[in-house]
Structures are given as structure tokens and as C-alpha cells.
């Protein structure tokens, strides 16, 4: 499971939530630290005031009532006892403790050093009800010497239970996170969704699919980007339409003189010369038709739609088997895909033609791996020199360098196959197989 989401909205929400939680946690830590300091100072002051008051009170009551007054003056958080010795050893006080001790002395008798104070760590294993002295980690011990020589010993914790504001802080963090998520939902509708639509339209445009112009919405910058994308698509469609019309005119203009030459060649009386002229004119017509089919790219005008690649390849194989060619296929029962059937069939047919022509046979394998569909066309031919593999995808590129139909095609089959595959967001690659022969691999997005 990925902790970082893939979508823009998910990442925006995660960053905002982390920022809010981090800021709230920092503010909470600072507030808790300062509150703890203030709480400890208030607790020390309270203990000092209570002890000073109790000492003055004991000086005014009869001796026989002192134990009762001390017991009544105590509380679950403050414990007072009168003992023969001091709980605080002499000389154990630090600077802060000595200052508090002098404060008690000033409230009792001037210039009388009778109070001792020490901050100590309590033993949490002491037997006491939960929530009282036994669950506190720090306590203040105070010893004050009375007039009769005995010591008034007191112990009070400096920490208290979790105050209500900690729960309020947690509720505040949750409320902030909910508010941020609400903002993300609004941003998703107004920003993220138009961006996702634009990305989807760009992917469709890269595959040659037709779609309606995008609605301009969202912030000003996003509307400007959407308008520029729509204008670019409109200009591209106009350019393709103009080029198609131009090529249609060229096709008509070229076929007419070629047909005229064919008729004139048939009138030549010399059989050898006539056959040579007809063969040359036939090659010219075939090359012109192949060139126009490649440059026109009439597949781009075909609408995309759902199709079954496995069924399409099996039909292609059957057509070649009827012609007596050694072609086989291994594929799943079905392999759904969304694309242009004519363009894909033409690309695969070119690869199979090459495999049969140069490698005697063609073995086709269809498989789906993760997010890709792979179509493998293997042959048993001599292969291609590794340094010339990429060159074979260039228009009119051939190993033998000739244009004779008896030794090969026009050199446009691989170019047409790669163009069709890339129009669907995929690609075509060639590789020599270790056991001999050539492999043509078509990859398409699943």
C-alpha cells in the first residue's frame, strides 16, 4: 500500500493535512510547555502559602489541638505531618529551593532560617489511590522547624491530571483536518477535476482520438491553458484536413499519368521491352500507393472503439493460412482493447508479411503484463544487424537497398506499423532472438 497518493487531489489533501497537523502540534507543544511551567510555579506558590499559613495557625492554637489542626489542614494532594526530624536534609537545597525557603521565613519571622525545601522524584510504586500522590513524578517536600523544636513536614505534587484544554486541543486538530478536507473537496471540483480532464484529453489527442473541445472552467490560469489546448487541437485538425485534401489531389494527379503510361506500354510491340516497361510502371504505382497510404495516415480519421485484439489477430492468421503461409498464434480467449481496428490490423499485417517474407514463418504471441499488452511476432530468418535495427523504421529503408518487389517491399511496412502503434500510445521494437530469427514486439497500453 502506497502512503503517497497518485492523484493531484490526494497529494494536495495530504500536504494540507500534514501542514495543519504539524502547525497544531508545534503550537500545542509550546502551549503545553508554557502551561506546565506556569502550573509548577503556581503549585510551588500554593504550597508555600499553605505552609506559612499553617505555621502561623499552629502558633495560635493550644498544643493539644495541633495534631487535629494538622490533620484537618491536609488534603488528598497535600500531606502534612509533625515529626521529630526534617524530611529535607540540611544542605540539600538548590538556588530556587533556597529562594522559596526564604519566602516562607519572611512570612513567619524575619531573619529566621527555619524552612527547608527540596524538589524530589516520587516513587510511583507507593500505595495510594490512583490519581493522587502515587501517580505523580515530581513533588515538593517542605520542612519548617516549629518553636518547640519539632518539624512540620509537607509534601505536595507539582503535576496535575490532564487538564481539559488538552482534549480541547485534540478536538481543535480534528476540526482543522475536517476543514482542510472540505477545502480539498472544493479544490478538487474547481481545480483538480479540470486538470484531470485536460490530462485525459491530452492523452486522447496523443492517440489520435476525436473529442469535443473542453469546457473552460476553474481559475484564470487554468481557463487560459484549456483555451490554448482547444485552439491547438482545432489548428491540428485543420492542418490534417488540409493535408488529407492535398494528398487526395496528388493521388488523383499521379494515378492518371501512370494509367496513361500503362496503356502506352501495352502498345509496344517488343515483348521484352513491353514487359520491362509494365513491370517498372507497376512498381511505380505500387510505390506511389504505399507512399500515399503512409503519409495520408487515413487511420487517424477512423473513430476509436472497443475491439478484441485476440479475435482480430486470429482472423488475420486465418487470412494468411488461406494463402498457404506458415503463420500461428498463441493468445488468450479474449483481449479487450480500445483503439482503431483498421490501423492496428494494418500494422500487424505488415509485421507478419515481413516475418513470412524474410523468415519463412510467423509465430504470434499475445499476452497482457501489468499495464501493457504485448504482441510478439517471431520468425526464423537471418535477423538484422544490431547497428541497423533502428534504421529499418525509417521510410523506404531496406537491407538490400533495392526497390524490386521480388526481393522485398517498398520499405514502408515497419514505418507504418510503428506509426500506428505510437498513435495508440504504444511502440514497436525489433530484436534478434538468441536462438536465431527476429522478434518484432508491439506494446500497447492496457
Average pLDDT over residues 255-278: 82
pLDDT at 312: 92
pLDDT at 1 over 50: no
pLDDT at 52: 76
Cα–Cα distance measured from residue 441 to residue 377, given in angstroms and rounded to the nearest whole number: 6
Per-residue CA distances from 44 to 38, 39, 153, 159, 358 (Å): 10, 9, 15, 11, 97
Cα–Cα distance measured from residue 85 to residue 381, given in angstroms and rounded to the nearest whole number: 107
pLDDT at 375: 92
Q: Which residue has the cell 507507593?
A: 126
15 pLDDT band (50/70/90 cuts)? confident
Instruction: Name the average pLDDT for the chain.
Output: 76
Cα–Cα distance measured from residue 153 to residue 114, given in angstroms and rounded to the nearest whole number: 12
Burial of 430 (0-12, 13-18, 19+ CB in 10 A): buried
More confident residue, 399 or 139: 139
Specify the range with the lowest mean pLDDT, choosing from 14-18, 101-105, 290-294, 383-387.
Answer: 290-294
Cell digits of residue 205: 489527442
pLDDT at 19 over 60: yes
Cell digits of residue 294: 503512409
Question: What percent of the chain stands above pLDDT 90?
Answer: 10
Question: What percent of the chain stands above pLDDT 70?
Answer: 76
Q: Which residue has the cell 495557625?
A: 57
pLDDT at 245 over 90: no
pLDDT at 176 over 90: no
Q: Which residue has the cell 497518493?
A: 5
Average pLDDT over residues 6-18: 71
Residue count (the chain) = 446
Q: Give the start-end residues of each E strand in 198-335.
A: 305-308, 326-330
pLDDT at 291: 65
381 pLDDT band (50/70/90 cuts)? confident
More confident residue, 162 or 184: 184
2 contacts: CB under 8 Å, gap ≥ 6: none
pLDDT at 288 over 90: no
pLDDT at 125: 43
Average pLDDT over residues 39-46: 69
Per-residue CA distances from 366 to 107, 425, 429 (Å): 96, 17, 15
pLDDT at 131: 39
Average pLDDT over residues 139-155: 79
Cell digits of residue 156: 505536595
Cα–Cα distance measured from residue 320 to residue 355, given in angstroms and rounded to the nearest whole number: 12
pLDDT at 127: 42
pLDDT at 159: 59
5 contacts: CB under 8 Å, gap ≥ 6: 11, 13, 14
Instruction: Find how far residue 147's CA is from the centre of its chain.
Output: 77
More confident residue, 446 or 327: 327
60-77 residue pLDDT tens: 778 778 788 878 877 777
Q: Which of 396, 363, 395 is nearest to 379 (CA)?
A: 363
Asked if 194 and 218 touch (Cβ cutoff 8 Å), the reply is: yes
85-137 residue pLDDT tens: 887 777 777 776 777 677 777 766 554 557 777 766 655 444 444 433 334 45
Cα–Cα distance measured from residue 85 to residue 153, given in angstroms and rounded to the nearest whole number: 9
More confident residue, 33 or 392: 392
Q: Averaging pLDDT over each range in 101-105, 157-161, 281-285, which range is the top one?
A: 281-285
More confident residue, 315 or 243: 315
pLDDT at 404: 46
Q: Which of 92, 119, 114 is nearest to 102 (CA)?
A: 114
Burial of 222 (0-12, 13-18, 19+ CB in 10 A): middle
pLDDT at 346 over 60: yes
Cell digits of residue 382: 537471418
Cα–Cα distance measured from residue 138 to residue 77, given in angstroms and rounded to the nearest whole number: 12
Amino acid at each position: 500500500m502506497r502512503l503517497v497518493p497518485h492523484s493531484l487531489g490526494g497529494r494536495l489533501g495530504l500536504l494540507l493535512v500534514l501542514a495543519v497537523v504539524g502547525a497544531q502540534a508545534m503550537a500545542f507543544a509550546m502551549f503545553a510547555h508554557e502551561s506546565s511551567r506556569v502550573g509548577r510555579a503556581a503549585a510551588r506558590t500554593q504550597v508555600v502559602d499553605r505552609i506559612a499559613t499553617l505555621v502561623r495557625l499552629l502558633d495560635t492554637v493550644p498544643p493539644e489541638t495541633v495534631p487535629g489542626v494538622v490533620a484537618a489542614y491536609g488534603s488528598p494532594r497535600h500531606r502534612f505531618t509533625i515529626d521529630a526530624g526534617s524530611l529535607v536534609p540540611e544542605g540539600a537545597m538548590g538556588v530556587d529551593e533556597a529562594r522559596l525557603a526564604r519566602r516562607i521565613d519572611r512570612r513567619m519571622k524575619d531573619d529566621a532560617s527555619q524552612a527547608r525545601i527540596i524538589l524530589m522524584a516520587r516513587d510511583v510504586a507507593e500505595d495510594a489511590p490512583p490519581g493522587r500522590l502515587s501517580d505523580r513524578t515530581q513533588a515538593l517536600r517542605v520542612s519548617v522547624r516549629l518553636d518547640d523544636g519539632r518539624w512540620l513536614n509537607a509534601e505536595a505534587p507539582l503535576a496535575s491530571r490532564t487538564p481539559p484544554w488538552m482534549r480541547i486541543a485534540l478536538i481543535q486538530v480534528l476540526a482543522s483536518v475536517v476543514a482542510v478536507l472540505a477545502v480539498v473537496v472544493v479544490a478538487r471540483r474547481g481545480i483538480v477535476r479540470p486538470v484531470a480532464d485536460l490530462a485525459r484529453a491530452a492523452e486522447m489527442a496523443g492517440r489520435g482520438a476525436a473529442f469535443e473541445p473542453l469546457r473552460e472552467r476553474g481559475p484564470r490560469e487554468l481557463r487560459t491553458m484549456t483555451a490554448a489546448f482547444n485552439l491547438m487541437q482545432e489548428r491540428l485538425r485543420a492542418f490534417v484536413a488540409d493535408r488529407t485534401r492535398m494528398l487526395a489531389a496528388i493521388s488523383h494527379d499521379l494515378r492518371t499519368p501512370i494509367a496513361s503510361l500503362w496503356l502506352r506500354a501495352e502498345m509496344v510491340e517488343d515483348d521484352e521491352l513491353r514487359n520491362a516497361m509494365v513491370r517498372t510502371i507497376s512498381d511505380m504505382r505500387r510505390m506511389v500507393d504505399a507512399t500515399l497510404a503512409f503519409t495520408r495516415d487515413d487511420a487517424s480519421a477512423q473513430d476509436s472503439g472497443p475491439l478484441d485484439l485476440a479475435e482480430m489477430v486470429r482472423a488475420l492468421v486465418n487470412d494468411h493460412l488461406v494463402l498457404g503461409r506458415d503463420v500461428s498464434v498463441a493468445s488468450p480467449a479474449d483481449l479487450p482493447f480500445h483503439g482503431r481496428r483498421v490501423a492496428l490490423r494494418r500494422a500487424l499485417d505488415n509485421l507478419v508479411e515481413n516475418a513470412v517474407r524474410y523468415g519463412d514463418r510467423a509465430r504470434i504471441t499475445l499476452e497482457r503484463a501489468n499495464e501493457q499488452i504485448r504482441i510478439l511476432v517471431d520468425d526464423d530468418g537471418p535477423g538484422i544487424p544490431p547497428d541497423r535495427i533502428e534504421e529499418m523504421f525509417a521510410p523506404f529503408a531496406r537491407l538490400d537497398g533495392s526497390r524490386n518487389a521480388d526481393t522485398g517491399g517498398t520499405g514502408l511496412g515497419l514505418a507504418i506499423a510503428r506509426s500506428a502503434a505510437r498513435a495508440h500510445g504504444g511502440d514497436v521494437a525489433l530484436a534478434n532472438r538468441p536462438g536465431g530469427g527476429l522478434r518484432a514486439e508491439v506494446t500497447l497500453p492496457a
